Amino acid sequence: MSFPSTQHKLPWFPDTTPLMLAPMQGLTNRGLRHLFAQWVKPDTLFTEFMRVAPGETSKRLSASDLGEIAPTEETIPLVVQLIGHGTDALVAAAQIAQTNGAAHINLNLGCPFGRMTTGLTGGGMLQQPELLQELIPALRTVIQGSFSVKLRAGYDNLQQIFSLLPLFESARVDFLVLHPRTVLQEYEGLADHSITTRVVQETSLPIIANGDVRTAEGGLRLLEQTKAAGLMLGRGAIADPLLFQRIRSGVTHQPSQVERAAMLRHYLTGLLERYQGIFCGEQQILGKVKTVFATMDDPDFTKQIKGLKKARTIQLFSSLVAQLP
């Protein structure tokens, strides 16, 4: 599918169907991104969301977030995702991100937990869509590279996205990442990709489909049914990084238990190695590695994962990983 040309370079190679690694807070840190970039090579990477400080301050982004900013990661385009509220604050943060090397900036309008903060952030901003009428064009004015928005289909109504499309189009947003649940749904129920299909039909903007892609067959079917420009893989890819390779190659059969065990050994060993260079102390390192288990529900490894969750030393954890059948 072709889309109108843009003066901004998109964060994927031309004439490809990009498979993106979703930004997931607490999971997709630079260690995990580095492993995925070297191993399964997503077409696009996103930072975890960077919280924008509100009010009167010169420090819109934290020092640790500034250290994450780059145009690419292991030659793969890296999108810096911002979350916050207030046009002035978000515009200033976008400018700071660019000064520090960001080539691609994304605004988070999808996180369902932003509605629980003191100011409307993330998906909570969809409660007051009139605020977006000022914010989106203001961000487009200052963002020199690609500018994208990741959003839910609506705050409490899946049809809300259709009233927002004219704004995104007129402001020349470069692409949308659409998760077709409402903010209030959080992660309950199923993503309604009939909404994705309709959005693709009603806009010329590239739409990246996001939500409930757990198998290669499901991902390929979603691309065919929706005609989306690409896919963003979240929990499915965190549970099974090789999902990227199977979708890319069109392999729809599920890997054998032996293949899945080999994947887990490589995955957990790779995370453990990288996290020892990022985090401090055995418990913090192991705690970070174990976060990926929350996405895994493979019945063939229930017992082994239970044992890994209980491991209290890196030595024991490594030993149990090596014993995966």
> What's the full length of the chain, in residues?
325
pTM, full prediction: 0.95
1 pLDDT tier (thresholds 50, 70, 90):
very low
One-letter amino acid for residue 186 of the chain: E
Between 118-127, 139-148, 231-240, 297-306, the lowest mean confidence (pLDDT) is in 118-127
CA distances from 299 to 173, 236, 255, 295 (A): 42, 15, 14, 13
Mean pLDDT confidence for 221-231:
98
**pLDDT score at 118:** 62
pLDDT in tens, 153-177: 999 999 999 999 999 999 999 999 9
3-state helix, strand, coil in the chain (%, to 5): 45, 15, 40
5 pLDDT tier (thresholds 50, 70, 90):
very low
Q: Is the pLDDT of residue 243 over 80?
A: yes
Tell me the CA end-to-end span of the chain in Å, nearest whole number: 43
Mean pLDDT confidence for 114-130:
81
Residue pair 44/76 in contact (Cβ under 8 Å)? The answer is yes
**pLDDT score at 2:** 43
**pLDDT score at 58:** 73
Q: Is the pLDDT of residue 117 over 60?
A: no
CA distances from 213 to 19, 199, 222 (A): 11, 18, 8
Mean pLDDT confidence for 86-90:
94
Q: Domain 19-249 carries which CATH code? A: 3.20.20.70
One-letter amino acid for residue 302 of the chain: T
Per-residue b/e over 145-181, b at no fewer than 16 CB within 10 Å? bbbbbbbbbbbeebebbbebbebbeebbbbbbbbbbb
98 pLDDT tier (thresholds 50, 70, 90):
very high
One-letter amino acid for residue 278 of the chain: I
Mean pLDDT confidence for 250-268:
96
pLDDT in tens, 9-21: 999 999 999 999 9
**pLDDT score at 6:** 55
Residue pair 185/155 in contact (Cβ under 8 Å)? The answer is no
**pLDDT score at 119:** 75
Angle between helices 160-170 and 132-142 (to 10 degrees): 30
Mean pLDDT confidence for 180-205:
96
pLDDT in tens, 18-33: 999 999 999 999 999 9
Residues of the chain with CATH 3.20.20.70: 19-249
Rounded (10°) CA dihedral 320, 321, 322, 324:
90
